[in-house]
Structure 1
């Protein structure tokens, strides 16, 4: 539990800054986020492609190559994965950052999974990057957690030496199924308190 708390705190601190205070409701982002998560849960790779950032698809060799990779990854998970995702909880409370014409934000996620032991659940922490190329573009997403630094420099050259991308590297935790709600709430509070503290600091030093 301590490890996952530390990485959540790290992600929260990485996400905060002078231009990242609590966000107004962004219905377009919320809708796109809900759709890509639902597509991931149901294995709808065509829909995942629709909401994946074009710059990532380009780096994967284009739409045909990217879809083939997504399909292979899904097939491998079905064959080898003993877990099943029950729900994904997003911490989506902060404003996007602007970098040139690009708007982006990192959204921490708690992923609750079923495992072979039916009395227990697994909780993993990750984050997804939401990005749009300019003010008039639609929100798209990049899962940065499984992309190496060199590849990220190719996909996001504007970020190199300017934006440190948070990574979720802690091991998942396994808890009794009756403790899921309390544990999720505790983990979200860790992020919330860190964000509030950093937001206050940024305001006080402006």
Structure 2
């Protein structure tokens, strides 16, 4: 009976002289800049046009603040709870721009051949520009819509135009684009974000 001298020896994993070297490594997708510049400019310009309907919608649905004329010189007295509409105006504008940002993030993601940081940055800047223009236009249109054409009588109640008293509300639109696009990118999980249609 022959005794085993030790554990069985296995062949080592070190490549031998007949191993095939790797000559071609898989190419890592690179960021496309030049080809995406023109679509990015188109996205930026198109989004700036959306400021007009956004401003008009806000100027019509934002609630005015009602005040009472308490002096012969036009001194105004606040009515109970009416000052809350100043926050309502800000919140409505913020939700409108946030919704615009979410929709833009999804639509830009559906531009499959142009997915990447260039068009993404154009979408963020475009929504930011549309928000700024909508803020300026919306306040102007609201002022003209609630314009007082004659001197109000003493004791009468008038409506003051909606107003936006904080520029911080402008971050909601770009925030919506960034979060939506980032979630879709994470969900996709491909190195090239699925740009290749094949």
* Structure that is richer in strand per residue: 1
Q: Which has the larger Rg? A: 2
Q: TM-score, normalised by structure 2?
A: 0.28
State TM-score, norm by structure 1: 0.27
Considering Cα pairs closer than 8 Å and 6+ residues apart, tell me whether 1 or 2 has the greater RCO: 2
Q: Structure 1 or 2: larger helix share?
A: 2
